[in-house]
Chains A and B, each alone.
Chain A
C-alpha cells in the first residue's frame, strides 16, 4: 500500500456520460498530480494541485476538470466521455510543489463503451 488511495478501481460507463475519480493523497502530502495512461502508453500529465490551488496544467481536455478540497483529497471529473477516454488514471502525491518524489496510487481503470 503506497498510502495514496484511488477510488473506484474500475469504472465502466457509456459514451456521453460523466464520471468522477477520487484520490486521497498520502498523509502529509500537499501536492496531488493526475496522470492518464492509455494502453501501452506512457504517463501523460494532466494537472497538478498544491494545497487546494491549481499549479500546472498539462494536456488536459476541456471536458476534464479537477479540484483539490480543504482536506487535500482531489477529484478528477471527466464529462461527455468518448471511447478514446478509456485509460488508466493515476493520482500521485508529494509533500510540496516542486518536491521531487511522487508516490502513486494504484489507479482507476476507466472503460467507456
Chain B
C-alpha cells in the first residue's frame, strides 16, 4: 500500500541553527498532513498541520512546506533549542486514519 517515508533518520544540528526535516509521501489523494514531535517516554505531540490547498504554513518557530508536485513535505525549525531534541514524524490523512512515516531523530548540540 501507499505510505509516508522519511529521507533522513538522524539529524544533528548546533543549538541556534535552523533545522529542516524532510518527508516524502506517495498517496496523491492525501489532503492533510501533520508533523508530530515525540520526546523520549512520551506520546506524539501535535506540532503543525497543513492542508493540501496550501503550500506553506507558519507557527511559532516552525514552518511546514508542502510541495505537491514532488509529493514532499518539510518541517523547518528556526533557532533550534535543546528542547527540540526528539523524534519527528510526518503523517498523512487520505481517509479515516493517519499514516505515519518512520521518523527522524533530531539531536541538538549545545
Number of interface residues of A (CB under 8 A): 24
Which of B95, B97, B101, B102 contacts A33, CB < 8 Å?
B97
Task: Report the minimum CB–CB distance from A27 to chain B (whole Å).
Answer: 17
State which of A13-21, A63-71, A74-82, A104-112 sits at the interface with chain B: A104-112
User: How far, in angstroms, from A42 to B102 measured CA to CA in the complex?
Assistant: 4
What is the 8 Å Cβ interface bit string for chain B, positions 61-105, against chain A (1 contact, 0 not)?
A: 000000000000000000000000000010001011111111100
A55-B96, A104-B44, A106-B41 given; name 7 further pairs at CB < 8 Å. Answer: A4-B43, A42-B103, A58-B97, A90-B43, A97-B96, A104-B36, A104-B43
- Pick 23 A–B contacts, CB within 8 A, sort by A: A2-B43, A42-B101, A45-B97, A45-B98, A45-B99, A45-B100, A48-B97, A56-B95, A56-B97, A90-B43, A98-B95, A98-B96, A100-B32, A102-B46, A102-B98, A103-B46, A104-B36, A104-B44, A104-B45, A106-B41, A106-B42, A107-B42, A107-B43
Interchain residue pairs A-B with the least CB separation, the first 6: A104-B43, A43-B100, A42-B102, A104-B44, A106-B43, A98-B96
A interface residues, Cβ below 8 angstroms from B: 2, 4, 33, 35, 41-43, 45, 48, 55-56, 58, 90, 92, 97-98, 100-107
B interface residues, Cβ below 8 angstroms from A: 32, 34, 36, 41-46, 49, 89, 93, 95-103
